[in-house]
Structure 1
Amino acid sequence: MERDIDDLPKNAANYTALTPLWFLDRAATIHPTRTSLLHGSVRYTWFQTNKRCRRLASALSKHSVGIGSTVAIIAPNIPAMYEAHFGVPMAGAVVNCVNIRLNAPTIAFLLGHSKSEVVMVDQELFSLAEEALKILAESGSSFRPSLLIVIADKSCDPRALNHALGKGAIEYEKFLETGDPDFAWKRPEDEWQSIALGYTSGTTASPKGVVLSHRGAYLMSLSNPLNWGMNEGAVYLWTLPMFHCNGWCYTWALAALCGTNICLRQVSARAVYSAIANDGVSHFCAAPVVLNTIVNAPMEETILPLPRVVHVMTAGAAPPPSILFAMSEKGFRVTHTYGLSETYGPSTVCSWKPEWDCQPPVIQARLNARQGVRYISLEGLDVVDPKTMKPVPADGTTIGEIVMRGNVVMKGYLKNPKANEEAFANGWFHSGDLAEKIRLLVNNAAAVPRLGIQGYEWWSEALHGVSNVGPGVKFGGAFPGATSFPQVITTAASFNESLWEQIGRVVSDEARAMYNGGLAGLTYWSPNVNIFRDPRWGRGQETPGEDPILAGKYAASYVKGLQSMTGIRLKVAACCKHYTAYDLDNWNGVDRYHFNAMVSKQDLEDTYDVPFKACVMEGKVASVMCSYNQVNGKPTCADPILLKNTIRGEWRLNGYIVSDCDSVGVLYDNQHYTSTPEEAAAATIKAGLDLDCGPFLAIHTQNAINKGLLRRRTPSAIGSRSSPTRHSPARNRGRALPLSRTRHRTVAVIGPNSDVTVAMIGNYAGIACSYTTPLQGISRYAKTIHQSGCGDVACNGNQQFGAAVAAARQADATILVMGLDQSIEAEFRDRVGLLLPGHQELVSRVARASKGPTILVLMSGGPIDVSFAKNDPRVGAMLWVGYPGQAGGAAIADVLFGTTNPGGKLPMTWYPQSYLAKVPMINMGMRPDPSRGYPGASEMADCNRNQDFYASEELEDHERAFFDSADWALWKQGAGVNQKPTVAIETLRPKLQGMFDYDHFGEFRGTMLISEHTFHILSSSYTNVHGKAYGEEVPQKGTGLAGYDPFTGVGVVGDEPHTGTDVEEMCLKQAQALTAKTTVTDFLHARSEYFVDLHLAKSQIYSSCEEAYRLTESGDINVPHEYVDQYCNGPCLSEVNLVLNCIENIMTHFVFYNKATIQDIKDTIKAGCSYGPERGDFNVAEHLQAQENRAYMNQIQIVFGLGFMITGHALLL
């Protein structure tokens, strides 16, 4: 009996598994000499690409990579990234293209979850991969990648490559050489075999791994050219990242077309126009933000008219018609698509219809902005009621979910059966994309075309400069970077509200400019105002420190600067985060996703909530972000008492409340706070959450409505609502600082942070416009000898210390730039200790060898136990610089050489290592519990607070029962050692000389030093009406005012023992002989007779010397022999010697920045002591240098704007 027509069997001749890999062989056969890849000066043909991919497959196979293996690649659009799409699956493995915009903790999760045995990484991204691998190793997972390959690029800094090779990585080209160019790869036996893996989200606690098959990749690769009308030989420009769903499968499609790939490491308008003009580009894909870049590019970056029509495919939210129209005017033909990672890229396309050609260009643009119809490779597409699975009316108003089915729907989510069950329910793939209202509940809000509302990305960051951490900001074109100010903890050390506000204004200026250029949004989720409660917290660097009042004032000031409100109009919208009691990321097995912060009502009220209350009520912030953690057993994002009652009710927030990224999913997936995801969605919305950073609400809100957990009107209601820096010297023993350009001509610059760039800007930073490293900054002042001493801050070896010691022996001064970086402290990386990492403490060897002063510069966000240096007399000074920003090296050098004064104060307490054993990081209590021997966080920190920072009423509101912290703190919060800056104001008459202590946030309280024969103290009290701290004003030419530039200043830590000499004590007693309490104005009028002209003072000192001692021409004076050395070998009189000691005492508290004043002092001494070479030439600087080993008195704070000028007559007894 003959077989029926449908009974004919499959066989090897008529059925083979579909795979896009054969496209490569075909291209190499048909067009072997045609250019396949072009990247700068690198050019390959299809024949060469085929051989290179076979080599890669062969080399991987030799390392036992095959079926069941996964190979991760972390790289931008470079040839190796393209080759991996063929070479890896040719070996039988799965290619895992990692989003290079993710942070290290997320990448660590992806590598571990995917079990990527091999990691290929671009040399510029090696530090990111290295950090991720370190996190993976520390996570407790037994999995480790077995092979690390670094991809070299001649256009990049070779130091990164050398570092990678030093870590055991194999260079990519060397690796290829081990492979066979004729390697016989095998077609997959089953087209359902996996070819690629990608992840849906880079910020979630549990990103989903999307698995794609050979069959789906083959079909999408052919579908793309058909839908877009691409011809054979198309020249395709890679502006779309290949890590985005394998470049929407255009990686394989270009081989099918035998086309040419033009790789771009970085996308800019200039690069796009240049590739079109010079390389014949005919097609490229791009996000709408890239279209904005192209449209708004400066004329000098464009090449118009275009030599040909260039086809552009864009996806996601529809570009505004104005952009489409502008692109059309320039010669681009834009096709709009919509798709998902789960559908291999595009799912729908707005297909051009011939009848649209007769429409005006503006109408054409509007038509082209629509979502369109299903892709040719997709068998089913509909918008349905997810409860009944029936299509909803196509009326533009009814809510429905987009569902799909077909061969270009993913295989499923890796190791996530629950998510697969939900995604494929009822025989359809549920996209989770719901129409209109529900899709507005997430950060990447969808467009509403019928209302003319564009899609919008809410998530942007501006912690200390416009950042590209969030997806809302894209650098490129006219905006290659932005100003990266010092990390927040560094700027907080200034205690300067006006400075914080000014930084905010600069940041928002740049943010608004980028918005105008189409590269950024208007909502910035900054600042972070959590309390830096524990020194181990990796994110403490992002905060203003441990004090709630300071944090609150910072929050209000920075927000005012960012938002720059004019009436009800905002320049940009800020957001204070992460509310509340969030200060732990990953400590001792407890992470932020599972942490339940047990907080008393009192601690919540007067510590943890204080900054947020100030942010809302004083700063008028537009948004507050709730945190990952629970507080007293309830997730913050699901707590109506916190969100509705406190933020929106008590504090009257006029804005929106947003979740931390995927924290809504965390409360269900990680904390198991609810039984179903729908309950989690309902709980957060009912609690008062307006916006979800992440897809959770978009996916589950409709089902919550269907189950009756939410009413339909709830979403409607929701939708309608909807380098300056201060450094801190820990010590300045023996006046080691400032250094002198004349005495310290050669400086040894040593340490792992001595020549760093990116490390200076901390985390949540953008792309800095430029960098000045510490080495570069110091080189502007002196000849430098540089040795890193360690390979990196981990400092695992001491092999380089010998060279560092040798450098110190040759130099007049030695500067050790040590500390931490993001590999030690960062988001999701809390510290395990407070000591310097590795062998860094061995810097004491360098201090022993140094022939001049040794200065220790500490770069870190959190405190460090540097007891070894504090107790080492050979370390002359210590300077904490935080993470000082892009110009940090210049600022550090200015402080070291005395150009600017480090006028800051520590915003957090520095504890010894022993502190860690006393206080568990999970204990949130601010007060002691004697029954458990718990000292309490406030007793450890708040008792260290310098109470002069606060007005008396604030102290009363926040006072605590402090006890002595001497055994706990190396340096107290609020501590700081100035280089004693002096400022002088010229007045008509009388002349006022003096110094003031002051209260930073309100009332001046302190001492003013004046004199007439003796020093007098005048206590004065008046209001600083502008609320400004020292160091804000810009020096005014001709006024004699020596001010402080807030864009180059820096700040300090520490105090000093008081062991003054008898002469110093005599000088001080004389200075304190007269005490009065009056106002400054009264004093000026009542005491005018005490002030004399400086020029008259010179002659009086000279005259007194002559009359008293009648100096001989030989310089021999009538002084007992045993006092000759004390009086500088003869030329100085006893009165003048006392003057010098008094001046020394004064200069202990000041650094004279008014050069005229310094010269006046020198001239005065010379006039009194000598007038010819044979009588010596006493120099104040030399006198101070000779006395550098003497102990000095504790610092005396000064008020900005009033300082000290010497009046010679008043200094004589």
Structure 2
Amino acid sequence: MPSASYEPLTPLSFLERTAKVMPNEIAVIEKDKSWTWADFFNRVNRLSNGLKGLGISNGDHVAIISRNFSPMLEAHYGIPMTGAAIVAINYRLSADEVSTIVNLSEAKVLLVDMGVADRIDKEKLPNVEHYILINNGVISYQEAPKANIEGMDYETLLEHASDEYKRLHLDDENTPIAIDYTSGTTGMPKGCIYSHRSVYLHVLANVIEHKVDAYSVNLWTLPMFHCNGWCWTWTTTATGATNVCMPTPDAKEISTLIQQHNVTHMAGAPIVFHRLSRYMNENSISSFPNKLIIDVAAAPPPKGMLLDMEKRGGVIHHAYGLTETYGPFTICEWQPAWDSLSEVERINLKMRQGVPDITAGYVRVVNENDEDVPADGETVGEIIMRGNDVIQGYYKSPEETAKAFKNGWFYSGDGGVMHPGGYIEVKDRFKDVIITGGENVISVEVENILYEHPAVYEAVCYGKPDEEWGELVKALVHLKPGHEVTERELIVFCKSRLSNYKCPKEIDFGEIPRTSAGKVQKYKLRQQS
């Protein structure tokens, strides 16, 4: 039983402390504007009180779809301070996909970056009571993408709300602070429930593992919608580090902002840093202005990119995780003895996804009998995890929760090996998830669209290794007798029905390889690509 002095853990306490301890330090930089921690605290309080004025309270859900602008960062505090959970949505999804997530989450209020307002179809969102329009990225609402929504202006909401701070009193630190949706194995989104307690602990791990302090400057190359920016939306606040916001990761702007603000930290998928490397090479930029910690995860990064970033003064922190694990769960914990190894040996070690971070919990690699595979770096099994950085389940999806969890362990569906010393290395994705540019693509979803074409008899989708994207979506199509269709026609067909990043970039035609039992042999297709 908690003592009389027990205080439930919540990352919201970081903001209260930082705003009090260092109110005049810079919290956020966006283009030519900046906010101190006192300014940021004031805006967050106004957002929270404004939402309360709309009826938002404990147990509610508020959704936001936005690029990496300051209101997206503010929402990670203002929404939970009402007692509600934030639902941050991928702005790259189609209108139908966004509608599905908003409806499944039961969000009452939706904040919309007008620069991506075409992802909103109001007719398909019957439960949304209020729309709040973020006017960043466009000069006027009239210049925003065509959308059938009207609502109150974000800045107007803040202007008319009180800046009084009302601390959130939690009865239970396991109360949801966020619901993050993932496509899972079927294409139907599943809501991963993040708790105040686990986010708090994950933030502490980020601070320790990535050496974040008040001198740190984090450039937002990672989408804040993605696992709440791997919980970095709360991490920078814990130490009073500075946030540099940029709407989308453009290589030229990344390079400019790194030099301009002496950036010390950034994170994202390998493609972000691959493009940065290429831009710096093309423009004869030899190095970063100071040591730059680069947190990279998703598809295993190319060795060449790792070497190039480190030669410029970057320090690669290679991680692995899923939406179900609050983003990265493991990190390739670097050991001082490895510094004396050859360049090839060091990069081979850095390619490993590593060990659980300092607060995460436990990771294993098991065979089909749930027995640990030998720690030989060769025997492939399924990666399973448990601990503080694993969700307790999916929102209102008990059947999906039961499928993913067994005896307290989360089964990732990812294949990997265990090296001596407890370091894992991801080898394959059992669920056939294709990771392209840091985005997950469910192969069966793409296959189902291909099957809708009248000329397609069979179709199979898989990931083709790619230096820039990590993987490309590729398909092999077997046509019906007497039917003809070109690669280009099929790609256009998919683009009319799917988000662009989910569509095949290459399509081959021919017989689909199968086992004697009729199972598609995707590994053969990957080997041939």
Fold conserved (TM > 0.5)? yes
Residues 363 and 304 (structure 1 numbering): CA distance in 2 closer, same or farther, change over 3 Å? same
Residues 354 and 210 (structure 1 numbering): CA distance in 2 closer, same or farther, change over 3 Å? same
Kindly state the Cα deviation for residue 28 of structure 1 after the two structures are TM-superposed: 0.8
**Of residues 183, 186, 189 in structure 1, which corresponds to 2:168?**
186
Q: Is 2:127 aligned against 1:135? A: no
What is the CA deviation profile of residues 188-219 of structure 1, one whole-angstrom value per residue up to 9, with x for unaligned ones?
22101110000112895421110010000100
Q: Would you say the 8 A contact 1:286–1:313 is kept in 2?
A: yes
Cα RMSD (Å): 3.6
Letter in 2 for 1:407: N
Q: Is 2:490 aligned against 1:622? A: no
Residues 276 and 396 (structure 1 numbering): CA distance in 2 closer, same or farther, change over 3 Å? same
Residues 318 and 95 (structure 1 numbering): CA distance in 2 closer, same or farther, change over 3 Å? same
Kindly state the Cα deviation for residue 237 of structure 1 after the two structures are TM-superposed: 0.5
Distance in 1 between the 2:64 and 2:327 partners?
19
Q: Would you say the 8 A contact 2:187–2:442 is kept in 1?
A: no
Q: Is 2:3 aligned against 1:11? A: yes
Q: Is 2:66 aligned against 1:75? A: yes
Q: How does 1:111-126 map to 2 (within 5 A)?
A: 111-126=102-117
Kindly state the Cα deviation for residue 228 of structure 1 after the two structures are TM-superposed: 1.7
**Of residues 240, 255, 273 in structure 1, which corresponds to 2:222?**
240
Letter in 1 for 2:142: R
Distance in 2 between the 1:422 and 1:203 partners?
11
What is the CA deviation profile of residues 394-447 of structure 1, one whole-angstrom value per residue up to 9, with x for unaligned ones?
22333322121112211210111112223221121222223377626614279x
**Of residues 676, 683, 689 in structure 1, which corresponds to 2:520?**
689
Q: Would you say the 8 A contact 1:656–1:721 is kept in 2?
A: no
**Of residues 19, 44, 48 in structure 2, which corresponds to 1:53?**
44
Kindly state the Cα deviation for residue 332 of structure 1 after the two structures are TM-superposed: 0.8
Residues 320 and 519 (structure 1 numbering): CA distance in 2 closer, same or farther, change over 3 Å? closer
Match of 1:34 in 2: 25
Q: Is 2:383 aligned against 1:392? A: no
Distance in 2 between the 1:380 and 1:162 partners?
45
SS of the residue aligned with 1:225?
helix
Answer with 1 or 2: which has the greater Rg.
1
Kindly state the Cα deviation for residue 350 of structure 1 after the two structures are TM-superposed: 0.6
Residues 717 and 313 (structure 1 numbering): CA distance in 2 closer, same or farther, change over 3 Å? closer
Q: Would you say the 8 A contact 1:19–1:187 is kept in 2?
A: no
Q: How does 1:279-358 map to 2 (within 5 A)?
A: 279-297=261-279, 299=281, 301=283, 303-358=285-340
Distance in 1 between the 2:365 and 2:77 partners?
36
Q: Would you say the 8 A contact 2:384–2:411 is kept in 1?
A: yes
Distance in 2 between the 1:146 and 1:456 partners?
30
Match of 1:360 in 2: 342
Q: How does 1:83-232 map to 2 (within 5 A)?
A: 83-129=74-120, 131=121, 133-136=122-125, 143-153=126-136, 155-156=138-139, 158-160=141-143, 167-201=149-183, 204-232=186-214
Kindly state the Cα deviation for residue 160 of structure 1 after the two structures are TM-superposed: 3.9
Q: Would you say the 8 A contact 2:190–2:394 is kept in 1?
A: yes
What is the CA deviation profile of residues 978-1005 of structure 1, one whole-angstrom value per residue up to 9, with x for unaligned ones?
xxxxxxxxxxxxxxxxxxxxxxxxxxxx
Q: How does 1:844-859 map to 2 (within 5 A)?
A: none
**Of residues 384, 405, 420 in structure 2, which corresponds to 1:424?**
405
Kindly state the Cα deviation for residue 371 of structure 1 after the two structures are TM-superposed: 1.5
Q: Would you say the 8 A contact 1:106–1:202 is kept in 2?
A: no
Q: Would you say the 8 A contact 2:185–2:442 is kept in 1?
A: no
Residues 182 and 385 (structure 1 numbering): CA distance in 2 closer, same or farther, change over 3 Å? same
Residues 401 and 158 (structure 1 numbering): CA distance in 2 closer, same or farther, change over 3 Å? same
Distance in 1 between the 2:172 and 2:307 partners?
46
Distance in 2 between the 1:254 and 1:294 partners?
23
Residues 527 and 239 (structure 1 numbering): CA distance in 2 closer, same or farther, change over 3 Å? farther
Distance in 1 between the 2:53 and 2:469 partners?
45
- The number of residues matched between the two structures is 494
Kindly state the Cα deviation for residue 374 of structure 1 after the two structures are TM-superposed: 1.3
Q: Would you say the 8 A contact 1:37–1:44 is kept in 2?
A: yes
Residues 179 and 353 (structure 1 numbering): CA distance in 2 closer, same or farther, change over 3 Å? same
Kindly state the Cα deviation for residue 521 of structure 1 after the two structures are TM-superposed: 4.9
SS of the residue aligned with 1:395?
coil
SS of the residue aligned with 1:255?
helix
What is the CA deviation profile of residues 497-539 of structure 1, one whole-angstrom value per residue up to 9, with x for unaligned ones?
xxxxxxxxxxxxxxx9x967x2475554599999xxxxxxxxx
By relative contact order (CA 8 Å, sep 6+), the higher-ranking structure is: 2
**Uncovered stretches (5+) of structure 1, i.e. residues with no partner:** 1-8, 137-142, 447-454, 461-468, 471-488, 490-511, 531-547, 560-573, 586-619, 624-652, 658-683, 692-715, 723-1213
Distance in 2 between the 1:70 and 1:144 partners?
11
Distance in 1 between the 2:298 and 2:412 partners?
13
Distance in 2 between the 1:95 and 1:443 partners?
26
Letter in 1 for 2:123: K
SS of the residue aligned with 1:420?
helix
Letter in 2 for 1:10: P
Residues 12 and 302 (structure 1 numbering): CA distance in 2 closer, same or farther, change over 3 Å? farther
Q: Would you say the 8 A contact 1:277–1:307 is kept in 2?
A: yes
Match of 2:502 in 1: none
Distance in 1 between the 2:106 and 2:439 partners?
35
Match of 2:241 in 1: 259
**Of residues 414, 432, 442 in structure 1, which corresponds to 2:395?**
414
Distance in 2 between the 1:685 and 1:86 partners?
55
* Identical aligned residues as a percent: 33
What is the CA deviation profile of residues 1082-1129 of structure 1, one whole-angstrom value per residue up to 9, with x for unaligned ones?
xxxxxxxxxxxxxxxxxxxxxxxxxxxxxxxxxxxxxxxxxxxxxxxx
Letter in 2 for 1:11: S
Distance in 2 between the 1:202 and 1:171 partners?
34
Distance in 1 between the 2:384 and 2:235 partners?
26
Kindly state the Cα deviation for residue 279 of structure 1 after the two structures are TM-superposed: 1.1
Distance in 1 between the 2:442 and 2:190 partners?
20
Distance in 2 between the 1:687 and 1:527 partners?
16
Distance in 2 between the 1:213 and 1:163 partners?
36
Q: How does 1:490-529 map to 2 (within 5 A)?
A: 518-519=468-469, 521=471, 523-525=473-475
Letter in 1 for 2:397: N
Distance in 2 between the 1:685 and 1:458 partners?
28
Q: Looking at secondary structure, tell me which structure has more strand per residue.
A: 2
Letter in 2 for 1:100: Y
Q: How does 1:613-652 map to 2 (within 5 A)?
A: 622-623=508-509
Q: How does 1:713-1112 map to 2 (within 5 A)?
A: none
Distance in 2 between the 1:262 and 1:526 partners?
42
Kindly state the Cα deviation for residue 65 of structure 1 after the two structures are TM-superposed: 0.3
Q: How does 1:1061-1210 map to 2 (within 5 A)?
A: none
**Uncovered stretches (5+) of structure 2, i.e. residues with no partner:** 417-425, 447-452, 454-463, 499-505
Kindly state the Cα deviation for residue 42 of structure 1 after the two structures are TM-superposed: 2.5
Q: Would you say the 8 A contact 2:512–2:520 is kept in 1?
A: no
Residues 127 and 186 (structure 1 numbering): CA distance in 2 closer, same or farther, change over 3 Å? same
